[in-house]
Amino acid sequence: MNISIGNDHAGTNFKFNIIEHLENKKINIINHGTDSDSSVDYPDFVHPVVKDILNNKSMYGILICGSANGVAMTANKYSKIRAGICWNNDIVSLIRLHNNANILCIPARFTKLEDVLEMVDTFLTTEFEGGRHQNRINKITPY
Q: What does DSSP say about strands 83-85 and 28-31: parallel, antiparallel, or unpaired?
A: unpaired
**For 81, phi and psi rounded to 5 degrees?**
-105, 135
Spatial separation of the C-alpha atoms in residues 52 and 68, rounded to whole Å: 19
Q: Which of 65, 86, 105, 133 is catalytic?
A: 65
Is 32 an active-site residue? Answer: no
CB 81 within 8 A of CB 103: yes
Angstrom distance (rounded) from CA 5 to CA 121: 14
The CA–CA distances, whole Å, from 141 to 65, 81, 96, 127 equal 25, 10, 18, 22
Is 98 among the residues known to form the active site? Answer: yes
Catalytic one of 9, 21, 86, 98: 98
- Would you please indicate which residues are annotated as catalytic (active-site) residues? 65, 98
